[in-house]
Amino acid sequence: MDPVMMAIGFGLVAVLYGVLTSRQVLAASPGNARMQEIAKAIQEGAGAYLGKQYAAIGFVGVIMAVLVFVLLGPVEAGAFVLGAVLSGVTGFIGMNISVRANVRTAEAARLSLQAGLTMAFRSGAVTGMLVAGLALLAIAGYFYALVASGLAPTSRAVVNALVALSFGASLISIFARLGGGIFTKAADVGADMVGKNELGFDEDDDRNPGVIADNVGDNVGDCAGMAADLFETYVVTIGATMVLVALLVGGADAARLMTLPLLACGVCIVTSIIGTFFVRLGGGSIMGALYKGLLVTGVLSVPALWFATAMIFPDMNAVIGTAERSFTGRSLFYCMMVGLGVTALIVWITEYYTGTGYRPVQSIAKASDSGHGTNVIQGLAVSMESTAMPTLVIVVGIIATHQLAGLIGIAFAATAMLALAGMIVALDAYGPVTDNAGGIAEMAGLEAEVRERTDALDAVGNTTKAVTKGYAIGSAGLAALVLFATYTEDLAQFFADVPVDFSLSNPYVVVGLLLGALLPYLFGGMAMTAVGRTAQAVAQDIRAQFRENPGIATREVRPDYARTVGLVTAGAIREMIVPSLLPVLAPVVVYFAITAVAGQGNGFAALGALLMGVIVSGLFVAISMTSGGGAWDNAKKVIEQGAYGGKGSPAHQAAVTGDTVGDPYKDTAGPAVNPMIKITNIVALLLLAILAG
């Protein structure tokens, strides 16, 4: 059977699973009238924001689509549009499910902890499987259509189309990730600044006009944004692997091998679906229940990936030769096993640095007892330390896979990591659903035991969100290395007559490295500033509402939630544009500026060095921000559970300060660096294709 058709079939299975499971979620009870009223306000706010955000993104997307059409052609433009549209669709689906599952999770938690867990995870699984299914359908379907039209799989038109498809997904992803991140953290920080620190309210006190905006932000940031992010990472990784195969492997071997990433991801959709049925409380550990599903998925993926590899390589020991390094089907299978191992280790390391029961989070909670300054110092220390172990794991993974199968081995390790995206996104989307469920339980005045259950689910949700971000960043690092390898191979094919010196003795290489390393810091700084600026506006609006209507404090007057949501919406959309265009424009500007000064060869050298600088610097910035921010958040949770004086104590006030700093770290700047790394590399590849004519 044709492996590409099998991959398309597996993609359809994922979509069918998502549709059927979403019906189960929506069939559950949405609770009492007050719960439904709160949920409706969140739904309307999220829908209004996403509509305005997509309108702004669509304007930029149309301009880019026209440029791709003019500079590359209709095939590439069609691929760009497909990637962009489906990236937006996954974000919309993620948000749409989340804002309906939150109230149903709160209602389910009234029955039992298991019922709440099942509802939250089931809704996350809808998003996860639809992300994986639509991503696989996009790339497998377009590849199949191009080959069926008569194009050779390794032809330049197909290669350019795969890169353009990745560009479309990445462009939408960075806007969605950054815009959603600015929204969610500006609302969160602004609400906390006034509600917790000035008025002494609990986190989800419905007298605070910012609480609905905060709940809206959870959905547009952690559901819509993360769904678009991992859709993009999935498409880019598979596409980069296929492109690298087309460039390095010749003849019929290349055509066969280009289908292996599609089939590998397809079989792992099945293992992920099976894994979702094993998420059950055993000894009472919520994280353990979630890990059961992930563990089953990982274990079943081993024989599944062997099956996929054996389909492409009936003789697993047959040697395929390339200009760089020869390899066998067996060695590629081992590379994919390394990818699964890297995934498992990054998940474990991220949980260690962000889980409430481990040293890093406990150390921040303890430091809070001494004051605000020590909390921030210890949080920064943990964020820096958290980069070490993931980096060592990635380094070992790169060395091992390169020894096994060269650059293609690294590419297949990254593919195996992304093959588990369905289950990983399910774990992530679980987080904002439980966060919202806790808020709805608080605002609706449900029984204390319900809030205890939703708090327990939410504390784990903070860790699962951090785990997903660590996974996304680790896989992005490997994917970006594959894209860089593709850049150097493209350079050799397109511009063989242009001498390019990548040695460190070339000052333009050093210039490129420095500029590339700068980009994640500049991007992160712009994102943090955007959150701070919008959060100040939110805080001022909340204070103004209390001044204008003193009855809000006594519950005689209801706050104007829509006014606050509208303010955050306008701020997030305005602030996301310039930072999102930075990685699109930087490669183009650097290439043309250096070429004008020192010639085309040095322009290519500086651009290549820029890509490597972005990868290295971005990896550290992203891991540091996401793990550090998650640790700050859960240190606050530890104190709220009764440690060091509990809620309202000086330690709690210090922890709120640390959490306020960590919020834009973990949910805005850090995660958005992930698509930023890849889009910089993709733009460089498209630039080479355009220059080659």
Give residue-wise pLDDT tens across range 379-398.
999 999 999 999 999 999 99
Neighbouring residues of 433: CB distance < 8 A, sequence distance ≥ 6: 98, 101, 102, 105, 120, 123, 124, 223, 461
pLDDT of residue 429: 84
pLDDT of residue 296: 94
pLDDT of residue 220: 81
What are the structure tokens assigned to 136, written together? 């696989």
pLDDT of residue 125: 92
514 — pLDDT class (breaks 50, 70, 90): very high
- Residue 221, pLDDT > 80, answer no
Report how many domains make up the chain: 1
SS3 assignment, position 493: helix
Question: Which contacts of 322-331 are long-range, i.e. CB under 8 A and separated by 24 or more positions?
Answer: 322/248, 322/249, 322/250, 322/406, 322/408, 323/248, 324/248, 324/406, 324/407, 324/408, 325/405, 325/406, 325/407, 325/408, 327/404, 327/405, 327/406, 327/408, 327/409, 331/404, 331/405, 331/409
Query: What percentage of the chain exceeds 70 in pLDDT?
Result: 99
pLDDT of residue 299: 95
SS3 assignment, position 327: strand
pLDDT of residue 458: 81
pLDDT of residue 439: 85
**What is the C-alpha to C-alpha distance for residues 173 and 682, in angstroms, rounded to an integer?**
13
CB–CB of 413/399 below 8 Å? no
pLDDT of residue 642: 86
In the predicted model, what is the mean pLDDT of residues 484-509? 90
Q: Model-level pTM?
A: 0.91
The DSSP secondary-structure symbol of 224 reads I
pLDDT of residue 323: 66
- Residue 94, pLDDT > 90, answer no
- The phi, psi pair for 199, rounded to 5°, reads -105, -10
Beta bridge partners of 327: 320
Reported as a single tens digit per residue, the pLDDT across 222-243 is 777 888 888 888 999 999 999 9
Q: Quick one: which H or E segment has residue 293?
A: helix 286-312
658 — pLDDT class (breaks 50, 70, 90): very high
**What is the C-alpha to C-alpha distance for residues 377 and 485, in angstroms, rounded to an integer?**
39
SS3 assignment, position 549: coil
pLDDT of residue 397: 94
Reported as a single tens digit per residue, the pLDDT across 413-448 is 999 999 999 998 888 888 888 888 888 888 888 888
Reported as a single tens digit per residue, the pLDDT across 308-323 is 999 998 988 888 877 6
In the predicted model, what is the mean pLDDT of residues 112-120? 89
In the predicted model, what is the mean pLDDT of residues 591-604? 95
pLDDT of residue 324: 67
pLDDT of residue 283: 65
Q: In terms of DSSP bridges, do strands 319-320 and 327-328 run parallel, antiparallel, or are they unpaired?
A: antiparallel
- Residue 97, pLDDT > 90, answer no
**What is the C-alpha to C-alpha distance for residues 14 and 307, in angstroms, rounded to an integer?**
19
CB–CB of 673/523 below 8 Å? yes
Range of the domain at 475: 3-692
pLDDT of residue 14: 95
pLDDT of residue 435: 84
User: How high is the mean pLDDT of the chain?
Assistant: 89
- Residue 199, pLDDT > 80, answer no
**Higher per-residue pLDDT: 250 or 64:** 64
pLDDT of residue 373: 94
Q: Taking the CA of residue 532 as centre, how many other CA atoms within 13 Å lie in the half-sphere pointing to its CB?
A: 10
Q: Quick one: which H or E segment has residue 320?
A: strand 319-320
- Residue 656, pLDDT > 90, answer no
pLDDT of residue 148: 92
**What is the C-alpha to C-alpha distance for residues 215 and 568, in angstroms, rounded to an integer?**
12
- Residue 198, pLDDT > 80, answer no
284 — pLDDT class (breaks 50, 70, 90): low
